[in-house]
Amino acid sequence: MTPTLHEIADRVYPDGQHTRKPPSYLDTYQKILEPFQGKTISLLELGVHSGHSLLLWRAFLPDAHITGLDLREPPDNVTGLENVTYIRGRQEDVTVLDQTTAANGPFDLIVDDASHIGRLTKASYRHLFDHLKPGGLYIFEDIAASVRFPDWPDYAPMTRPADEGDRFPSYDVGMIGVLKQLVDDVALGKNDIASLTFFASMAVLTKAQG
């Protein structure tokens, strides 16, 4: 039986590794990725930093073709691994994104754990959505960065005016703002989005089957 993501994380992340995905993320991933186990799928992760997340996916989804994109030089722990492709570049650079799709696209799973900046996240999503397979998942991590960290590039405090009549103002900055735009698309049945599900600091978009 395949170990759980928590068990794999204990094995692949060194003690104190700050890039380790939080327990709540692992719980969510355990649930949403289990249907992909045993299948030959393609996974893209934007923002891999130390490379340990690629080891996590590789162990949990051993039949997957995995692509990682990051600004840094490829980490030694993933260099030369079978079924792992590393591409260096910025998440909003469409030329670099095209390299990922040429390598292993279209994708069953796309994980955005890169800048956590709204406009960059949106640029990646807009370019990559067409390269997500029907029924595939597009996963946004750390969606509250713009409200949690005062030194974040697109930080804004969570203050909002009171409801007025039929209007209900709410926080619309950073990644939360991008996701609220996608809520509009889901509500209107636009852009082939089947669903958008929110978890603690994460959101999972499912592409329609077509």
| 17 vs 26: which has the higher pLDDT | 26
Q: Rounded to whole angstroms, how far apart are CA atoms 15 and 150?
A: 28
74 domain residue, yes or no: yes
Dmax (CA) for the chain in angstroms is 60
Q: Is 26 helix (H, G, I), strand (E, B) or coil?
A: helix
Domain range for 182 is 5-148+168-207
Could you give the percent of the chain with pLDDT greater than 70? 100
Q: How confident is the model at residue 199 (pLDDT cuts 50, 70, 90)?
A: very high
Q: How far apart are CA 21 and CA 53, in angstroms?
A: 8
Asked whether residue 54 is domain-assigned, the answer is yes
- Residue 17 has which token pair? 């590794």
Q: What is the number of domains present in the chain?
A: 1
Domain assignment present for 23:
yes
Residue 49 lies in a domain: yes
User: Is the Cβ–Cβ distance between 137 and 110 less than 8 Å?
Assistant: yes
Position 156, amino acid = A
Q: State the pTM of this model.
A: 0.96
Residues 137-159 pLDDT 10s: 999 999 999 999 999 999 999 98
Domain-embedded: residue 88: yes
Q: Which residue has the tokens 């370019």?
A: 127
Q: What is the CATH number of the domain that holds 90?
A: 3.40.50.150
Taking the mean position of all CA atoms in its chain, how far away is CA 207?
14
Q: What are 65-80's pLDDT values in tens digits?
A: 999 999 999 999 999 8
